[in-house]
Amino acid sequence: MSKFEGVIVSDQWLQSQFTQVELRSLKSKFVNFKNQNGKVTFGDLSSLMMKLKAFVDTYNQDEIRGVLNESGIDFANDVDFEDFLKAYLNLRSEATTKQGGKKHASSFLKDTITTLLHTISQSEKACYVAHINSYLGDDPFLSQYLPLDPATNGLFDLSKDGILLCKLINVAVPGTIDERAINMKRNLTLWERNENHTLCLNSAKAIGCTVVNIGTQDLVEGRPHLVLGLISQIIKIQLLADLSLKKTPQLVELVDDSQDIEELLNLSPEKVLLKWMNFHLQRGGYEKTVKNFSSDLKNGEAYAYLLNVLAPEHCNPSTLDTKDANERATLVLEHAEKVGCKRYLNSRDITEGTSNLNLAFVAQLFHHRSGLSTDTKKMSYAEMMTEDVQTCREERCFRMWINSLGISTRVNNLFEDVRNGWVLLEVLDKIFPGTVNWKQATRPPIRMPFRKVENCNQVIKVSKQLKFSLVNVAGNDIVQGNKKLILALLWQLMRFTMLQLLKNLRSHSQGKEISDADILKWANRKVNSIGRTSHIQSFKDKSISSGLFFLELLSAVEPRVVNWNLVTKGQSVDEKKLNATYIISVARKLGCSIYLLPEDIMEVNQKMILTLAASIMYWSLQQQTEDPDSFSPASTVTDVTTPEASPAPSVCGDDETYSSLNGDFSNLSVDDATSDTTVSSQLEFDGGVVEDEIF
């Protein structure tokens, strides 16, 4: 395994104010700013702070200099990194006050997590604890620690070894993690904890969580706001999993005709839940439309009408008669408990309009009493409109990959959400900063069709500059939702990014592009270097389906990561499935961010096999030790090395990973000997998801 790396600050309180991702980013900027003498002086600070996104829109340089002079911080002539951090905190505090004291709540549904204001909601914490106690209380390993007390910090302490978080992911999306790959025992080493958290974060991204600003060390330390932010995203995915026509065909009752069914297919799970709620409210005589899970639910009336429709046998007239909102909220919760909906929130959460918990409560009501009929005719029509298995896999793959990048727009339905071009422009700008002309782009919502075409035309223009194969393709093809084109475009984007990342780590590339054949040759050499005789002719070699080649490859790059006692011969379908599932979890545990499914290995999906091999190769090249069969990794700055612990690297790498993707954009044709033109899943490389500049 790679050595554990982190930025250590002697002042423990000061270190607690930042995540490891933030510390690495700030340390990198601090080191890069040093003058010719290798120092940063007090006079340099104002210029340095102006380069940080956190302050560029808030201060000018004179204002920063004034704040620093009045801060009372005792700076020597030379400023060390800790002095810089103190100045940063002081400026950030002043900036928050200047902007009106913006409050950051814990993130139940948000994409990214900020860190300076660590306010956490005790109600949300209690909700998550109740959820964990309910769903994991009977787990063979965790039962010795559960139930947790929401009044203590037991949740954060239990999260430090990563076992709880891994198992919670499997509750949300069963089968995501092969539990054989989890390090499970009472006393784990730092290396074993870090492995669990690496597996957790990579698996969380694979089910749709955004973990851009979270590193494994943050979870090892049990930082409350980050742990709650991750748990909340996992629980949200679980609660909203059935809110689609594919999972719940009965939802077709919410619409009247085929056109409405198509619109329903394109709605996000949250909007489907609102549509379901309003459907029943209309039936119950409620005259208003609920548009959100906060202010529209504060008085409790909508809940009272909804429960009267879903569970009329427990109807209490006083719920609507009372004029006191708190009393009504209490009666609503009592009504909900009678139908088996656990009380995960209290009356105050309703009256204060806590959107996170209200959404969770409505989702629980949906699961317990959907109130939907089974109109066979409508359900059959809805089932006919669902995608084939291959298309579904591809859509899932690209959707998860895009969401993991940390762009501002969240993708719920790939084919619908990319049609205005904005998401694709965000992806291009995230991976290749500066390629998008934002002055010529229109932000959603976009009412004028020609504006969508303009956005998509720019997508095509930038893609052609990157030498993508887009013959006779125009922006209007994306606007029209051409699925084949959209998938082909995103595949080329991912593959190009993948090969550029590998090229940047290859020490003697001299501008030469890395090809699929190079990856194949590297993989075979790596396996042979440990005395194994396995060899694949291409990424469509049928022998790959057994899983043995990739298990040997993983063992070659890190001998300790594969437990061969768990490996089968890979002959029967069941044996192949066990090996494939184990491969994916072991690769993620090692540090590979991948999105393929076990079926992709079993069926030898050529594109996904390529991405798996490339991800393992990328991880191997990042390691400090060179070996004869690999290319030398790019040099990295290690702030602290702990020899006795050697966990897989943090999911979030250096901020500038993508800023160096400016090489020769040639030779991008797909190698037909190793891969084809379809894609089922995709990987996202370590360090490739971190924002260009966090601050």
Query: pLDDT tens, 140-172?
Result: 999 999 999 999 999 999 999 999 999 999 999
- Element (DSSP H or E) covering residue 182: none
Residue 593 has pLDDT above 80, yes or no: yes
Answer yes or no: pTM beyond 0.85: no
pLDDT at residue number 258: 66
pLDDT at residue number 165: 98
pLDDT at residue number 442: 96
What are the DSSP calls for 63-120, one per residue? HHHHHHHHS-----SB--HHHHHHHHHHHHHHHHHHTT---PPP-SS-S----SS---
Residue 527 has pLDDT above 60, yes or no: yes
Residue 339 has pLDDT above 70, yes or no: yes
pLDDT at residue number 668: 32
pLDDT at residue number 284: 94
Cβ neighbours of residue 37 closer than 8 Å, sequence gap 6 or more: none
Residue 411 has pLDDT above 50, yes or no: yes
How confident is the model over 60-67, as a mean pLDDT?
A: 75
How confident is the model over 502-526, as a mean pLDDT?
A: 81
Least confident range from 176-180, 295-299, 404-408, 674-678: namely 674-678
How confident is the model over 52-62, as a mean pLDDT?
A: 72
Structure confidence at residue 119 as a pLDDT band (50, 70, 90): low
pLDDT at residue number 44: 75
pLDDT at residue number 692: 29
For 118, what's the count of Cα atoms within 13 Å in the CB-facing half-sphere?
A: 9
pLDDT at residue number 687: 34
- C-beta separation of 127 from 344 below 8 A: yes
How confident is the model over 378-403, as a mean pLDDT?
A: 74
pLDDT at residue number 35: 64
Residue 389 has pLDDT above 90, yes or no: no
Least confident range from 194-208, 243-257, 463-477: namely 243-257
- C-beta separation of 18 from 26 below 8 A: yes
- C-beta separation of 4 from 647 below 8 A: yes
Residue 78 has pLDDT above 80, yes or no: no
Number of other CB atoms surrounding residue 129 within 10 Å:
21
Residue 230 has pLDDT above 80, yes or no: yes
Residue 665 has pLDDT above 70, yes or no: no
How confident is the model over 547-574, as a mean pLDDT?
A: 96
Residue 310 has pLDDT above 90, yes or no: yes
Residue 584 has pLDDT above 80, yes or no: yes
